[in-house]
Amino acid sequence: MTSDTQAQTQTSGSCCSGSAASSGGCADTGAVTTVYAVTGMTCGHCEGAVSEEISALPGVSSVKAEAATGKVTVTSAAPLDEEAVRAAVDEAGYELTGRA
């Protein structure tokens, strides 16, 4: 008599179920994480410079740059314009080569 196990209703569409709440995307989680590939970073100072510039972009809540891997993980409230990120990386003195 374990019929209860089937009582677990699937939370399908938990992301986009509230269609009226957010138009144009799955903003339910409240954050978007994108990983970019950046060349030229060699040390912690580079990581800091890249992080600082990207952090200044509107909507960005956190940036994690890794010189060892050349990857920059950016968390933002909404998807970022890649050109804006590229410009920020360029401003720091490095080059964004695309998404990692």
Residues contributing to the site for Cu ion (CB under 5 A): 42-43, 45-46
- Closest distance between Cu ion and the C-beta of residue 74, in Å? 19
Nearer to Cu ion, 36 or 76 (CB): 36
Nearer to Cu ion, 59 or 91 (CB): 91
- Give the C-alpha separation, 19 to 57, whole Å: 28
- Closest distance between Cu ion and the C-beta of residue 70, in Å? 12
Quickly tell me which residue has 């990207």 as its tokens: 54
Q: At what angle do helices 44-55 and 82-92 cross, to 10 degrees?
A: 140
Cβ atoms 85, 96 nearer than 8 A: yes
CB within 8 Å of 26: residues ≥ 6 apart: 15, 16
- Closest distance between Cu ion and the C-beta of residue 52, in Å? 13
Nearer to Cu ion, 38 or 80 (CB): 38
Nearer to Cu ion, 33 or 55 (CB): 55
- Closest distance between Cu ion and the C-beta of residue 44, in Å? 7
- Give the C-alpha separation, 18 to 27, whole Å: 10
